[in-house]
Amino acid sequence: MQKLIKAVMIALLVGFITTSCNQDSDLPYPIEEVKEGVLVDISQKPNTDGFIDAIAPDTQPNLGVSLNLVPKGDGQWDKIDLVIIYQSSYDNTYRKFVYQENITSLPQTIDLDYDKILDGFELERENPGDNFHVVIDIYLPNGLVVFGWTPYTGFTNTDFASWQFEGRSYSRKVVYPAACPIDPDFWAGPAQSLDVGEGFAEDAMLSVLATDDVPDNAYFESLGMDANEINALELIGFELEGFFLDSDPLTQEGDTSKLKFWINKASFQVFIPDQPTGLSWNIGAALGGADDFQEIWVTEVVTAEANTCNGTISFVANWMPIGESGYGFGEMEFQINILAFNDQVKNSMVSRTNVLQSIAKR
């Protein structure tokens, strides 16, 4: 069923492509299969909030989206509905609310009323960790509907993510997470580093990096980001001291270890480039041979996530000696617990969590 729906959607898209586009070998879809339809870019309205503050008691976020045809022109469509999908962190369910019906002209910029969104889902307030996904449903002249989300396919139009529009990748949805703003004053101080697989925890300290201490552009480019996306980053950097410790002087050189990471305060994406920890490990002694100290690096970081409402950073990475032995520790899962997380934030979160059951009226 899912494969059939996906095939239908591919056949429906972008019927208004011009002759010059027909000659473009780099189109992200098979042009010969295109019959009728339209692809619409939906992006965050400039100078609006990128998230909903999950701890402020009287939050009234400034939300808005911009809708544009891709490429610009008239497509074969009758109307568009602007739809919001509510993803609940409480039970990981999804619900749909049609925010605005019968949009008949593009481009358009639409302001989103926060209270109207809550009323649409019968919510008193969102919960920390919830997400509001803004998508569109496109109604075609032949009666077919290209949905932005369904319970069967999830969020659609993923095949067209490589399409370039206005100097960036095509955007199929806008996501507003219910998150806690990052305030460095709340984060700097005592922390704990946890090897999740081993259950091994160490005391650590978290400090805030200077604003000009950021990864090289080459790192972000390696993630597939273009110049506009890199320039739009709003990074806050941190250094964790005490990430790996070992009490055995025969196997370790260096007093402590360090790890730098950066968080985009607008999207909460976590960036951890490959980097040395500041420690060297005696691989030779560990393998029963002559001393052979090799520098330890954190490399190949994946699945890095920040929960800014409970003060945790989670990621999976390789802990790798840089040397000729070929010996490595393999992929390991880590968590940073920010013990210095401000008590005021914690207390606010407790009061919000206590009403979790009552604010989600099914």
Instruction: Tell me the percentage of the chain whose pLDDT exceeds 70.
Output: 70
> What pLDDT is attached to residue 75?
65
The per-residue pLDDT for 12 is: 33
Positions of the chain with pLDDT under 50? 1-35, 73, 247, 249, 350-362
Q: What is the reported pLDDT for 73?
A: 46
What is the model's pLDDT at position 214?
95
pLDDT in tens, 234-282: 999 999 998 665 545 456 666 678 899 999 987 788 999 999 888 887 7
- Output the six-digit token pair for 322: 């840089």
Nearest to 240 by CA among 319, 329, 341, 336: 336
pLDDT digits (tens, 9 = 90+) for 166-198: 666 678 889 888 888 888 888 899 998 887 766
Which pLDDT belongs to residue 352?
A: 47
Supply the pLDDT for residue 193: 84
pLDDT at 26 (0 to 100): 46
pLDDT at 86: 95
